[in-house]
Structure 1
Amino acid sequence: MKVLKEFTIPFVGLKIGKHHFEYKVEQSFFEHFEYEDFNDAHLEVAVEFEKKTTLLELHFKITGWVNVNCDVTNEPYNQTINNEFDLVVKFGEEYNDEYIDVLIVPHGTYEINIQQYIYELAILGVPVKRIHPGVEDGTLDSDILKKLEELSPKIKESKNTDEDIDPRWNTLKKLLTDK
């Protein structure tokens, strides 16, 4: 994976304390990762970078929308994304990213690239089941929805009478009333 330079933070020249970085992420960012589930994207990423003497702390906040296809009707719609993530960068002998929220980089490292974290944060901000808002509130007029309604099994309204009940269950009901 080729590194995108605009997502690289050179922290050696930064003073100890908090620093703020802002990024705009568009569809081309996801095309770089060869991710094709989004039709379009407009995200804003705010990174609060705190440099300490022995480690680095990063707080990511991503907001915006991505255009995805509904899982029910396949209609495109804008899904809002609002997600946050904290990352701690420590210095050690060798590079290690086994932990979810801790990154260990070798001593002498002078910059860190955050493109993978932004990518994962955006992907994980989208719900697993993507449903068009019009499907949920009933305002979407779609041929697919009409066909699904037509093919869905009809629920038969049963009369709660004893003649519809299997006689074997009547014996079991006596157990509930006998005490």
Structure 2
Amino acid sequence: MNATKEFLIPFIGLKLGKHQFEYQINKEFFENFDYDEYDDVNIKVNVVLEKKATMLELAFKHKGTINVPCDQTGESFDLPIKGKINVVVQFGDAYNDDNEELLILPHGEHQVDVSQYIYEMIVLSVPSKRIHPGVKDGSLQSETLDKLNELRHKEEPEQTEEENTDPRWDKLKQLLTDKKK
């Protein structure tokens, strides 16, 4: 990623306590990660950095919309998303981000890059199955939906339970009903 300057938070000059940072995320942000699944992005990210004597705590929240194609119809729509994550930043001998909730920065580091956490938080908050709201409420009219409905009606009609029983079981059921009488 080449445009990380705005996502670098210099914590060395900050006083102990909470500090708030806001970011407006658009499609360009994801292009920097070579991720092009979204047609348009409009997400507001709020980062609260709490500086303590020996560590930092980062609380990320996001809310907004992404424009994606529907998995059933292919129609693009704005999908509302929101989410949050927390990350603890500690200091050690070497950089280590193996744990998703713990980041270890080398001693002497004076800033933290939050872009990767913002990227992962947003991507993970998008549902794996994206269905247009018009499909759910029946208001969307498209050729794809018409074709799906047409094919659905051509399937074999469901057989009733009585037609689909084994005659041997019928004899056993008869024994049970005779016993109750």
Task: Provide TM-score, normalisation by structure 1.
Answer: 0.92
SS at match of 1:105: strand
Alpha-carbon spacing, 1:93–1:145, altered in 2? closer, same or farther (3 Å): same
User: Gaps (5+ residues) in structure 1?
Assistant: none
* CA pair 170-86 structure 1, distance change in 2 beyond 3 A: same
Q: Which amino acid aligns with 1:51?
A: K
Deviation (angstroms), 1:172: 4.6
Per-residue deviation at 1:175?
7.4
Q: Which amino acid aligns with 1:100?
A: E
1:76 is matched with which residue?
76
* SS of match in other structure, 1:36: coil
CA distance in 1, matches of 2:107, 2:60: 24
CA–CA distance in 2 between the matches of 1:64 and 1:148?
31
- Normalising by structure 2, we get a TM-score of 0.91
Whether the 8 Å contact between 2:3 and 2:32 is mirrored in structure 1 is no
Which residue does the alignment assign to 1:167?
A: 167
Cα 1:40–1:170 change in 2 (3 A) is same
Per-residue deviation, 1:171? 4.0
Q: 1:172 to 1:109 in 2, by over 3 A?
A: farther
> What is the alpha-carbon root mean square deviation over aligned residues?
1.9
Determine if contact 1:30/1:119 at 8 Å carries over to the other structure.
Answer: yes
**Aligned 1:11-90 pairs, distance under 5 A:** 11-90=11-90
Query: 1:155 and 1:116 mapped to 2: Cα distance?
Result: 50
Matched to 1:64, the amino acid is: G
Q: Distance in 2 between matches of 1:53 and 1:175?
A: 79
Aligned length: 178
Task: Judge conservation of contact 1:3–1:113 (CA < 8 Å) in 2.
Answer: no
Partner residue in 1 for 2:157: 156
Amino acid in the other structure paired with 1:34: D
Equivalent position amino acid for 1:42 in 2: N
